[in-house]
Structure 1
Amino acid sequence: MRHMLAAAITLSIAAALAPAAQAQDAARKLAQDAIIVDTHVDAPGILMDTWADLGTRADDREFDYPKAREGGLDIAFMSIYTSPGQDASGSAWQIANAMIDGVEALAHRHPDKFAILTSPKDALRLLEGGRVLLPLGMENGAPIGDKLENLKFFFDRGVRYITLAHSANNRIADSSYVVEKKWNGLSPFGREVVKEMNRLGIMVDVSHLGDASAAEAIALSKVPVIASHSAFRHFTPGFERNISDELAKAVAAKGGVVQIPFGTAFIDPASAADTQAHFRARNDFDHRNAELKAQGKPELDRAQFEKDWASAHPTRQSTLAQVLDQIDYGVKLIGIDHVGIGSDFDGVGGELANELKTVADFPHLVAGLQQRGYSEADIRKILGGNLLRTWAQIEAGAGK
């Protein structure tokens, strides 16, 4: 009798688990079959700090080749990020070039695993053999300096989108993190930058921009624009870093896409408030140090500032459900054709939604979308189809 009861319990458990296992298998299958495009992966910064051979598994990294293949990631935009401090010191040009050198070195060392992607037309050909493709996105227009011809230089080096500003106002546009805006839109030079990006076929990225700067960039562009990694401000009131409904509608009306990040700082309201306060405190700290330096006085300890901040602001948690809520909201607000993915892997210190901790976890996102009733065709759009369409339209509009 005991054996019969145990067998019945085992069968009951197996029957209960079968649908879940089937759902996971279906999600993994679709993740492998669909073209997944992530518009924001911060691996180049890590290559600058400590070279890691991302052709092999690197357990302390969120992006590497084995994890990308496990998760079905096909196209990962490498973030060529430079800071406001590097802009101020004049080092942004060199650092951006060194980061591009690092991505090129990665592809050259592993031609069977990686390839630089400069046009959506080449994607299917280069994906053959199981490669992960590495287009370049420049986060912060600082490396351009004040020379418009530098846009052509970086285009020739493979840069295919530029986030016009980052965490401080620059020569081009205002940052969302700064209270006092410099331009209240684009600068005169910034307007020329957008026009030249259109001419070359470089995507204009409005993530990180202050609202007025983003609005002018969208209106001025003759082709679609993107928000490479912006969640919806609807969930984080007062957090200008996330995109407003009005601006998201403007991006969609232009034919562009809003790419949803996975970082806790963007999708969790309390974390978003901390993040905005942190950037503003950091900018104030940098201004104070600049004043002290100009006066010939000792500068404040930046490491101590960051340590004190972290101590006063403990890490929070976020969930896959919050990412799915962002996608649901975006689809309802601007339509299924205008939402995609810009994770921010390797860019937020590991503070990511539960179940989306590395590029191996894309099947969890797919499973969540399936559970929320999205069709396979619509999931394919979100995973990468929308971004590839937008990129193709921007490329087709180049020079016109």
Structure 2
Amino acid sequence: MKNYLTISAFLLGLSVSSCNSNQEKIDYTTVSDEERLEYAKTIAHETIMVDGHVDLPYRMKVGGFTLQREILDVSTRTDGGNFDFPRAKQGGLDAPFMSIYLPSRYQQTGGAKILADSLILMTKRLAETWPEKFAMAYSPDDIENNFKAGKVSLPMGMENGAGIENNLSNVAYFHEKGIRYITLTHGKDNLIGDSSYDTTRTHGGLSEFGKQVVKEMNKVGIMVDISHVSDDTFYDVMELTNVPVIASHSSSRKFTPGFERNMNDDMVKALGKNNGVIMINFGGSFIDGDYNERTASVREHIVNWLAQNELSRSDSTAQVYIKKYLAEHNVFPDVSLVADHIDHIVSLIGIEHVGFGSDFDGVGDSLPNGLKDVSMYPNLIAELLKRGYSREDIEKICYKNVFRVWKAVEEAAS
């Protein structure tokens, strides 16, 4: 996987394609960290970058965004969250899949489809409000065209098939609305199948209705997303689908033993045989099995210190202490651990089956050092270059792998 770039290309800021093979070559693995990061930035900006899962739509809903007025202006740099246009451009992000997230409670209260429609309209409103910066994308071709125009594409995936409710025709309905993948379940078992977070095991995998949903998704051209499903549901999907599937924001269970939300090695191998893609989640608890224990220990210390000193978190003295303590006891994993997950997937099934699925705006403040928001993808690319990944490898991770699956699903449906 080792890659080389000419000295003159680096000095002149040219792309790899413009390099003369007769000129002196540099090994990415031996250049300084500073030089490697500059190479990574160049690759990030010259390559289409797709992220399988960004939770901006629900962040807009929580922040008060409505169809009548824009509270959250992500066309400019925002104070909170992990995504906005300036940071996306800084990090080289071109096509974040907008997560149309439907909390599991809507399975009991009703209204999942209504919420999905609302979040879809909010997402489309971004492109309508700032057409010079954002554009909707319903196919890989759309993303390529938007990339050439310098716009950030907004493809959409629905997180939780509860939006289908009990009506199979809603699969085609959501395809018409622009949904290009559906995460079958979320935090609880639903009408489609069992969730990795739920211990009820309502169906023992896919329900009979869920099997119809998967077939209908194959038929209309919506990618099946197996993030969040139970192991049994995953294997039922593998037996049923006639096209590749994705895990839009999952990581390797090897690093998080007992965390069923991630995929174990056998599941990863099955995904490889299916020709699918696992898009690595950046969240702390997804990449580091000890993260939750460390955060609990730090939280307990702070609570005890506040009690002993009869202070609340809002007191200025407490704020100073907490900031200092957190700096001295950094609980967050490093960007290198995300690369470890990628390494492991590649070792199991090859470079053609891995991508980025950050879960930005969805995993709170648990993100690793060096990957705190969408401006920081070059840090991960630099780490991969350091490990010997080639530019071609990185292009596959950034977009070619998921494009392959997406196009296969489109072709099968057509």
TM-score where L is the length of structure 1: 0.84
Q: Residue 397 of structure 1: SS of its match in structure 2?
A: helix
Match status 1:366 vs 2:386: no
- The Cα of 1:370 is off from its aligned counterpart by 0.4
- The Cα of 1:237 is off from its aligned counterpart by 1.1
Partner of 2:132: 112
How far apart in 1 are the matches of 2:330 and 2:159?
25
Q: What is the aligned counterpart of 1:28 among 27, 33, 41? A: 41
Match status 1:135 vs 2:184: no
How far apart in 2 are the matches of 1:112 and 1:31?
21
Q: Could you give the per-residue CA deviations for residues 146-175 of structure 1, whole angstroms, max 9, x where no partner exists?
A: 000111111111000000001100000101
- The Cα of 1:92 is off from its aligned counterpart by 1.1
Q: How does 1:69-80 map to 2 (within 5 A)?
A: 69-80=89-100
How far apart in 2 are the matches of 1:102 and 1:194?
27
Q: How does 1:244-283 map to 2 (within 5 A)?
A: 244-271=264-291
Q: What is the aligned counterpart of 2:405 among 358, 375, 390? A: 390
CA 1:218–1:49 in structure 2 vs 1: closer, same or farther (change >3 Å)?
A: same
How far apart in 2 are the matches of 1:165 and 1:182?
12
Match status 1:346 vs 2:379: no
Q: Which has the higher helix share?
A: 1
Q: Residue 94 of structure 2: SS of its match in structure 1?
A: strand
Q: CA contact under 8 A between 1:239 and 1:273: conserved in structure 2?
A: no
Partner of 1:44: 57
Q: What is the aligned counterpart of 1:182 among 202, 225, 237? A: 202
Q: CA contact under 8 A between 1:232 and 1:326: conserved in structure 2?
A: yes
Q: Residue 243 of structure 2: SS of its match in structure 1?
A: coil
Q: Return 342-351 or 264-273, whichever deviates more.
A: 264-273
Q: Could you give the per-residue CA deviations for residues 182-211 of structure 1, whole angstroms, max 9, x where no partner exists?
A: 111100000000000000110000001000
How far apart in 1 are the matches of 2:206 and 2:254?
25
RMSD between superposed Cα atoms in Å = 1.6
How far apart in 2 are the matches of 1:20 and 1:372?
12
Q: Return 388-397 or 186-195, whichever deviates more.
A: 388-397
How far apart in 2 are the matches of 1:59 and 1:372?
34
Unaligned runs of 5+ in 2: 1-30, 66-71, 296-328
How far apart in 1 are the matches of 2:247 and 2:129?
31
- The Cα of 1:21 is off from its aligned counterpart by 2.5
Partner of 1:240: 260
Q: CA contact under 8 A between 1:77 and 1:135: conserved in structure 2?
A: yes
Q: Residue 370 of structure 1: SS of its match in structure 2?
A: helix
Partner of 2:121: 101
- The Cα of 1:350 is off from its aligned counterpart by 2.0
Q: CA contact under 8 A between 1:239 and 1:272: conserved in structure 2?
A: no
Q: How does 1:277-296 map to 2 (within 5 A)?
A: none
Q: How does 1:287-306 map to 2 (within 5 A)?
A: none
Q: Residue 413 of structure 2: SS of its match in structure 1?
A: coil
Partner of 1:355: 370
The one-letter code sitting in structure 2 at the alignment partner of 1:30 is I
- The Cα of 1:24 is off from its aligned counterpart by 1.7
- The Cα of 1:271 is off from its aligned counterpart by 3.6
- The Cα of 1:122 is off from its aligned counterpart by 2.2
- The Cα of 1:273 is off from its aligned counterpart by 7.7
Partner of 1:65: 85
How far apart in 1 are the matches of 2:232 and 2:348?
21
Q: Residue 218 of structure 1: SS of its match in structure 2?
A: helix
The one-letter code sitting in structure 1 at the alignment partner of 2:105 is G
Q: Return 242-251 or 361-370, whichever deviates more.
A: 242-251
Q: Residue 236 of structure 2: SS of its match in structure 1?
A: helix
Q: Residue 73 of structure 1: SS of its match in structure 2?
A: coil
The one-letter code sitting in structure 2 at the alignment partner of 1:87 is Q
Q: CA contact under 8 A between 1:163 and 1:208: conserved in structure 2?
A: yes
CA 1:273–1:180 in structure 2 vs 1: closer, same or farther (change >3 Å)?
A: farther
The one-letter code sitting in structure 1 at the alignment partner of 2:196 is S
The one-letter code sitting in structure 1 at the alignment partner of 2:406 is W
Q: CA contact under 8 A between 2:291 and 2:333: conserved in structure 1?
A: no
Unaligned runs of 5+ in 1: 1-17, 276-313
The one-letter code sitting in structure 1 at the alignment partner of 2:280 is I
Q: Could you give the per-residue CA deviations for residues 226-259 of structure 1, whole angstroms, max 9, x where no partner exists?
A: 1111101111111110011111111111111000
The one-letter code sitting in structure 1 at the alignment partner of 2:94 is D
How far apart in 2 are the matches of 1:335 and 1:24?
25
- The Cα of 1:101 is off from its aligned counterpart by 0.8
Match status 1:221 vs 2:236: no
The one-letter code sitting in structure 1 at the alignment partner of 2:133 is K
Q: What is the aligned counterpart of 2:392 among 377, 389, 393? A: 377
Q: Return 21-30 or 164-173, whichever deviates more.
A: 21-30
Q: How does 1:117-196 map to 2 (within 5 A)?
A: 117-196=137-216
Q: Residue 257 of structure 2: SS of its match in structure 1?
A: coil
Q: CA contact under 8 A between 2:48 and 2:144: conserved in structure 1?
A: no
Aligned-pair identity in percent equals: 46
TM-score where L is the length of structure 2: 0.81
Q: Could you give the per-residue CA deviations for residues 77-117 of structure 1, whole angstroms, max 9, x where no partner exists?
A: 00001111112100211111111111011110011111111
